[in-house]
Structure 1
Amino acid sequence: MRSLIRALTAALAAGLLAGASTPGVASAQAGPPSSGSTTQEAIDWKPCAQDATAECGTLRLPVDWARPSGETFDLAVGRRKATDPDRRVGVLLVNPGGPGASGVRFAVADAKSHFSPDIQERFDIVGFDPRGVGASHPVKCSTALLRQRPSVYPRNQTEFDRLAEYNRVLREDCRRHTGPLFDHADTLSVVHDMDALREALGEEKINYFGHSYGTLIGEQYAEEYGDRIRSMALTANIDHSLGARAFLVSSAAAAEDSFHQFVKWCERTSSCALHGRDVTAVWDRLLARADRGEIRDPERPERTLTAHNIAFDVFLKFYGPRWDELAAQVAALDAQAPAERQRSGQPRQDRPPLSREADQQTEAEPFHAVFCQDWRIRAKDYREYAELTRAELRAAPHMRGSPRVHQAVAGCIGWPDEVNNPQHRLRITEAPKILMLHSRHDPANHFTWAANVHRQTRGTTVLLPYEGAGHSVYGRSDCTRGAVDEYLTKLRVPSAGSSCAPAGPH
């Protein structure tokens, strides 16, 4: 089993999430310049270093679309051409989510196994690393400072203030190491980049497949450039209209629902490592032991695991869902002999003081640069934050909230109130029919998110529920795959009220 401690930061970046207008929004909404005015009008395609059967290149774009003649960056792009050119429909732009996941990697390394042969035959599959991500001028922060991250569960105003100050210091450190692009890493800027990419590809209209946070790119592209879409399929949808409380509570409810799905599966499945036991009691006891500092990391026995560590790793296994693996993991941790208490279950406070003299060694850390510019979610003090946390716990008493979203929201404490791309109700006026798929028991993005987006765009979107569990949707069954393929290739949408039956866990 991988080290739980090492997995948390990487997982956060790989897998997520209505306010008044701000000057930053007004300038961003001016949109990219007209045709032909980007710094680079074409992509110089060459065989990809990681796979010569695909093509890679870059497109030079403005850092700030309100200042198109200002500083630029290179957007990394990857492409797999349609394997049957005679049946080619067009380009299929893809994004796998995050924020922080690489669209280039998705197109070059994953598309062949992810998409059906029919999609590969008929579309040029094109992925790009969103600005600040992967090879597109990545957001970088000091490694030493990232290792000093305090607890995202402050117990009082003093610890809340410590977290806010850390976030401010880290933000300035990341801005210094990244440059001006850090302040323009929001999704609306990515949307403008995507339309410039469409233009560089020589396409009047695009097809788009977005998953999870990639659905926010799709939704906002449809708002800004709906008439430039031929088809758009969105899976595990983001609802960008939610305020702080609704966002946190619905995320917590999604995680708790997945926990109960796991418990039910274990009760009826003899191969479950916890079959025949009270799984809920085992789980609650395990987290209580972790609170007391009694559970060791199996891969690094000198380190103890917090309840947050354990819940986060289990939460990620809900994505599959990988229930057999999850059950074995919980059973193994529960079976650990009582360990000598090494430290309090509360997070360590013995880190060295924060220093503004940032270490020169850096690593990519794009998550909060994107998330905190897309969401106006800023608890002002410990009292407000504690109430939000209590609401999470009421919605998810066993999972103790959503480990991923709690950590995401905590990372924005102390940031400026102004955001480039604040929440708002989705307004799509010119797009064709858009197909949305969403798991009924998605652990990360609550099903109500998709239902709410659909309500906001009922004349434009068609929602196809997958009645099972897990975060991924497209390859879940013949029904989900077939619905997307039929739509992308022939523009046929499922009939109203349709749904796809659940398949087994992975």
Structure 2
Amino acid sequence: MLVVGALATALVGQFLAGTAVAAPSAETVKTPSPGRIAWEPCESPSGQGTFECATIQVPIDWKRPHGATIGLAINRHLATDPARRIGSLLINPGGPGGSGVDFAYSAPQSFSPELLERFDIVGFDPRGVGRSNPVTCDTDQVNAQAAQLYPDSAASFAALREANRALGESCRDLTGPLVENMDTTSVVRDMDAIRAGLGEKRISYYGVSYGTGIGQQYAERYPHRVRAMTIDSNMDHSLDPWTYQKTETIAMEESYGQFADWCARTASCVLHDRDARALFDSLYKRADAGELVLPGDPPYTFTTQDLQSLAFGYMYDPADWFQFADNLAYLDAPDAAAARSVGKRGEPTEFAYLPVMCQDYDFDVPSYGTLARFERELARRAPVTRLSSLAWTDLTGCQNWPTEVTNPPHRLRVDGTPPILVTNSRYDVATPHSWGSNAARQIGREAVFLTYDGVGHGDYWMSPCARDAIDTYLLTLKAPRNGTHCPAVWPTGPSAQRQSPTGGLVNPLPELLGTGTRGSTM
């Protein structure tokens, strides 16, 4: 199954420059305690593990702590060795829009037995996501906006701005005042309310992708409430719009280059004896000319945006590269007798991604001319893939968004935490290595930086070496040496199951993070 537009905007939230604001310390930030959480037994979809579920109430607007509230859905997988239980490990899979409840439900298949023994694995659906009062928007407005995300003139840029405002206003009309309070700062306050409800003085945390942004800002605001923190595949909340586009685009170009090189040296790759870079360039030019038409009833004209989104999605996990090579070969020579279903872009029913992104980052550009200059310069720097579909639709999707940028980008100011383990793949298409290294520099002496020298998003499931380092740190507080490198792991054969190389664990991110989040679906 060839699915196109795998991530209208993905795993990932990120980036731009804005006014630096002082981060309040834990001493100046009071978290109203919701009281102890009233847990009740519940069952995971798989039936595996022992779980409890609950709902806690938090203010819609933390500036009005005694005002209207919403319920946050939370769950926990109970430590399998309660006599040796360390405490609670809060987790978040990214997005914005990924369900932390579903992430916790996946724990028996996705986290090591050692973590399951010693921690209660606690997941929560962030405000506006999943079971926590989900943001909903008019589907027609979502689709109208999706058609405008790649403007090619001043007129189409103006139409995009109108579509963005109409979409944002529909989200507000259908969801209510929560839409004005979707920024990560509010999520951090929610997470500390969960900590208080758990009765924990300090928490351990594992966040991946956009979940690293939550972790970074939690450490900034509540440094003395952290026992241990691993942030895996990191955001950089300090970047200006151009640097964000540039770093994401270079990451896409480099990741595709790693795929092309792997295919050239892997005899079982269907493109083994072809130049995969030249093939992509040829497909792009055919799509740009409207000549990449796939058989079907009716036939489907494959666009450059379809091609870029397809490639972007397959860079999340090299385990899918055999299938990606098959799909590129099919695109090059479609077989009417074996026509493949080509998914266009998904129809979201919930839409938390842009309400978070457009309050966390100031993406506005002054004119179509600026956007066009960006596009030309990106294509110069990335002559094969041209741009990052994630970065581009983040940028274009937030133009003229109707809510305020309430959590503007700034450099992290973390002081007083224990060591924070910061990990990043060398070739991460959604959260580039430069973001991780820059986040570690901003955190400063509290940061320990580990690089996985392969391709992919979510080091815990890409690398046995990284997983062992993360487990050891969370369990014992013994961090690896700063600057540690873990060797790349390459796929050796097609696999029907998305198992990571880390002891047979199943990588949960592709199913947790779908269209409209910092993740991918295949």
When normalised by structure 1's length, the TM-score is 0.89
Q: 2:362 — aligned with what?
A: 376
Equivalent of residue 450 in structure 1, options 411, 414, 436: 436
Contact 1:132 1:185 in 2 (8 A): yes
Equivalent of residue 326 in structure 1, options 304, 324, 327: 324
- Structure 2 Cα separation of the partners of residues 20 and 274 of structure 1: 48
Q: What are the equivalent positions in structure 2 for 1:8-23 lying under 5 Å apart?
A: 8-9=7-8, 12=9, 15=12, 17=14, 18-20=17-19
Q: Kindly indicate whether structure 1 or structure 2 has the higher relative contact order, using CA contacts under 8 Å at least 6 residues apart.
A: 2
Q: 1:125 — aligned with what?
A: 121
| Identity, % of aligned positions | 43
Q: 1:389 — aligned with what?
A: 375
Equivalent of residue 112 in structure 2, options 112, 116, 126: 116
Contact 1:31 1:66 in 2 (8 A): no
Q: CA RMSD, aligned part only?
A: 2.4
SS at match of 1:77: strand
1:247 aligns with 2:247: no
- Structure 2 Cα separation of the partners of residues 297 and 16 of structure 1: 33
Q: 2:161 — aligned with what?
A: 164
Q: What are the equivalent positions in structure 2 for 1:51-66 lying under 5 Å apart?
A: 53-66=50-63
State the one-letter code of the partner of 2:277: T
- Structure 2 Cα separation of the partners of residues 362 and 325 of structure 1: 25
- Which shifted more, 196-205 or 266-275? 266-275
Contact 2:295 2:334 in 1 (8 A): no
Equivalent of residue 42 in structure 1, options 28, 37, 41: 37
Q: 1:438 — aligned with what?
A: 424
Cα deviation code 1:428-470 (max 9, x no counterpart):
0121100011101111211111111111122100001111111
1:235 aligns with 2:254: no
Q: What are the equivalent positions in structure 2 for 1:83-482 lying under 5 Å apart?
A: 83-108=80-105, 110-149=106-145, 150-296=147-293, 302-321=299-318, 322-336=320-334, 363-415=349-401, 418-482=404-468
Cα deviation code 1:332-390 (max 9, x no counterpart):
1101279xxxxxxxx9xxxxxxxxxxxxx982011100111111111121111112222
State the one-letter code of the partner of 1:464: L
Contact 2:37 2:54 in 1 (8 A): no
Equivalent of residue 502 in structure 1, options 488, 491, 503: 488
SS at match of 1:74: strand
- Structure 2 Cα separation of the partners of residues 298 and 487 of structure 1: 52
SS at match of 1:214: helix
In the alignment of these two chains, the number of paired residues is 477
State the one-letter code of the partner of 2:389: P
State the one-letter code of the partner of 1:484: I
Cα deviation code 1:130-174 (max 9, x no counterpart):
111111111100112212223322111111000000000100001
SS at match of 1:133: coil
Contact 1:237 1:445 in 2 (8 A): yes
**Aligned-residue offset at 1:103:** 0.4
Q: Tell me: CA distance 1:448–1:480, structure 2 relative to 1, closer, same or farther (3 Å).
A: same
- Structure 1 Cα separation of the partners of residues 113 and 72 of structure 2: 28
Q: Tell me: CA distance 1:31–1:14, structure 2 relative to 1, closer, same or farther (3 Å).
A: farther
SS at match of 2:375: helix
1:4 aligns with 2:4: yes
Cα deviation code 1:218-263 (max 9, x no counterpart):
0000000010000000110111100100001000000000011011
Q: Tell me: CA distance 1:298–1:141, structure 2 relative to 1, closer, same or farther (3 Å).
A: farther
Q: Any unmatched runs of 5+ in structure 2?
A: 337-343, 492-499, 501-522
Q: 1:350 — aligned with what?
A: none
SS at match of 1:164: helix
- Structure 2 Cα separation of the partners of residues 292 and 478 of structure 1: 44
- Structure 2 Cα separation of the partners of residues 29 and 182 of structure 1: 26
- Which shifted more, 448-457 or 85-94? 448-457
- Structure 2 Cα separation of the partners of residues 476 and 155 of structure 1: 38
When normalised by structure 2's length, the TM-score is 0.87
Contact 2:79 2:117 in 1 (8 A): yes
Q: Any unmatched runs of 5+ in structure 1?
A: 339-346, 348-360
SS at match of 1:443: coil
